[in-house]
Amino acid sequence: MSRIVKWVRAHLVVLAGVLALAYLVLPNLVVLAFSFNKPNGKFNYEWNEFSTDAWTDPCGVADMCGSLSLSLQIAVLATIGATVLGTMVAFALARYRFRGRGGATGLIFLPMAMPEVVMAASLGTLFLNMRIPFGFTTILIAHVMFCLSFVVTAVKARVMSMDPRLEQAAQDLYATPVQTFLKVTLPLAAPGIAAGALLSFALSFDDFIITQFNSGPTTVTFPMFVWGASQRGIPVQVNVIGTAMFLAAVVLTVVGQWVGNRRKAQA
């Protein structure tokens, strides 16, 4: 008995950590399990019967796959926009000292320190007052706006940790500024840019609050579809998509780390 108590005391932190991890992963497991459910009624909250119907017919629900593809389109475009604009800002802030730099840094920080609902309501009010119709464009504008700061933060950290002597060496070897940028600077900054882009994609794809205030009644993204379904009745296919997204994210991260490790081993 005392040996068990001793072991528990020695591993208390790890045990607490494992419990915390279980708390984080539990809902994903529930989503996975209930993707094989055949619910008794419109809502998929209680276990009824095992079935693979949802997995064999993921698009069998009206409008769901359409909303999924709309979300993907918006996420891709928002990621491109935010990554290009954010990378430029990050280079300016990391590489130059100029008047107004502090103000620019503050402006970049502010959207990250603001609850989403505040940004959502204020941007929505602007669109309403300007009589700009809500839809695809207004969602895209909003998504680029809130993803931008995250890209700047990711890229800036990377650019600041880069050794400037590498670029000086390229110039000493008669590389033109454009060649230096394309062959030295950009590949060095790439991990930061990739991290920023990945974060943008995830934030945009999953955004609900800002989208709800800026989408209008007819443009339904995937999170908007799930929200609507949570009031009317949730098809099992929602769980299939949720599980597939989780698995895709895990596979992508594992592959990304594997590639990263191989690159490091080669270098």
Partner 1 sequence: MTATAEAAPTQVIPLQDRPPRRRLTPYWLLLPGLAWLVVFFVVPMVYQASTSLQTGSLEQGFQLTWHFSTYWDALSEYKWHFVRSFGFSAIATLLCLAIGYPLAYTIAFKASKRWRNVILILVIAPFFTSFLIRTLAWKTILSDSGPVVETLNALHLLSLTDAIGLTTGQRLLATPLAVICGLTYNFLPFMILPLYTSLERIDPRLHEAAGDLYARPFTTFRKVTFPISLPGVVAGTLLTFIPASGDYINAQLLGSPSEQMIGNAIQKQFLNVLDYPTAAALSFILMALILGMVTVYMRKAGTEELV
Binders in 66-105 for partner 1, by CB under 8 A: 85-86, 88-89, 91-98, 101, 104
For residue 182, the minimal CB distance to partner 1 (Å) is: 16
CA–CA separation, 127 and 72 (whole Å) = 23
191 near partner 1, rule: CB under 8 A: no
Nearer to partner 1, 3 or 9 (CB): 9
For residue 144, the minimal CB distance to partner 1 (Å) is: 6
Tokens of 10: 């020695």
Nearer to partner 1, 55 or 227 (CB): 227
Q: Which of residues 96-155 bind partner 1 (CB under 8 A)?
A: 96-98, 101, 104, 107-108, 110-111, 113-119, 121-126, 128-129, 141-142, 144-145, 148-149, 152
For residue 93, the minimal CB distance to partner 1 (Å) is: 8
169 near partner 1, rule: CB under 8 A: no
For residue 66, the minimal CB distance to partner 1 (Å) is: 16
Number of residues that bind partner 1 (CB under 8 A): 95
220 near partner 1, rule: CB under 8 A: no
239 near partner 1, rule: CB under 8 A: yes
210 near partner 1, rule: CB under 8 A: no
For residue 209, the minimal CB distance to partner 1 (Å) is: 7
Q: Which of residues 18-47 bind partner 1 (CB under 8 A)?
A: 18-21, 23-28, 30-31, 34, 45-46
173 near partner 1, rule: CB under 8 A: no
Beta bridge partners of 37: 50
For residue 21, the minimal CB distance to partner 1 (Å) is: 6
Instruction: Report the largest interatomic distance among the alpha carbons of the chain, rounded to a whole angstrom.
Output: 74
Going by C-alpha positions, the residue among 9, 47, 58 that lies closest to residue 239 is: 58
